Homo-oligomer: A and B are copies of this chain.
Amino acid sequence: MHLFDNLDSGNGYKIRLLLAQLGRPYEWTNLDLDAGASRTPEFLKRNPNGRIPTLELDDGTHLAESDAILFYLAEGTPLLPIDRLGRAQVLQWMFFEQYSHEPFVATPRYIVKHLPPGHARYAELPERLAKGRAALAVMETHLSTRSFFVAERYTIADIALYAYTHVAQEGGHDLSPYASVRAWLARVAAQPRYVELAARPRAARD
């Protein structure tokens, strides 16, 4: 397998964390997104939506969308429940992550880390951070009576939500009001074979 990725991407980190925890080898390419490397004609053949992560399977098929890639890779492992309701609940939280969380937790981090001060997109921050706090409050309520998001064990739903939550401060969020979320972040970081977002995979080439 070959993962097309960017080392600073939380969406890409989801895949790197899962593959590390599953002990699966893969090739890895770090694309320079600021230089447009995900929008070249060559890359658009891999993913017409021009986004990373994109995973090339051994048969040459390409799979896009971080949470769909997680679901594919976790099939048959302890990180994805086998019962129908458990799988649907994992998906519920992954769709929550992409629709109600990522634009309001990840995008502020992108603006602050990648755009120069004074850039027009800084004007988006107050509304995005407010919606991000709403998403964090939903997570806090859910985790106040649970150890993990689904089935009381560590699954890809946790990986999907951990990726940008654990670096939410980099976009201006304050996690101190969310005690249950912070305890859950610590439980995820304590999982076997955990790797950090900035950890370059061994097979790196870029």
A residues adjacent to B (C-beta < 8 A): 48-49, 57, 61, 63-69, 71-72, 75, 84-85, 87-89, 91-92, 94-96, 98-100, 102-103, 138, 141-142
Apart from A65-B95, A66-B95, A69-B88, what are 8 other A-B pairs with CB-CB below 8 Å? Answer: A57-B85, A65-B92, A68-B89, A72-B85, A72-B88, A72-B91, A75-B84, A94-B95
Closest to A141 in B: B48
How far, in whole Å, are A95 and B103 apart by their CA atoms in the complex?
Answer: 13
Asked whether, in the complex, the Cβ of A92 is within 8 Å of the Cβ of B64, the reply is yes
Does B49 contact A63, Cβ atoms closer than 8 Å?
Answer: no
Total copies of this chain within the assembly: 2
Task: Output the nearest chain B residue to A61 by Cβ-Cβ distance.
Answer: B85
**Nearest chain B CB to A119 CB, angstrom units:** 15
What are 30 A-to-B residue pairs whose CB atoms are below 8 Å?
A48-B138, A49-B100, A49-B138, A61-B85, A63-B85, A63-B88, A63-B89, A64-B96, A65-B92, A65-B95, A65-B96, A67-B91, A67-B95, A68-B88, A68-B95, A69-B88, A71-B88, A71-B91, A72-B84, A72-B85, A72-B88, A75-B84, A91-B91, A94-B95, A95-B95, A95-B98, A98-B99, A99-B99, A99-B102, A103-B103
Q: Is the interface of A mostly helix, strand, loop or mixed?
A: helix
Counting from the closest, the 4 A-B pairs by CB-CB distance are A72-B88, A65-B95, A68-B91, A68-B92
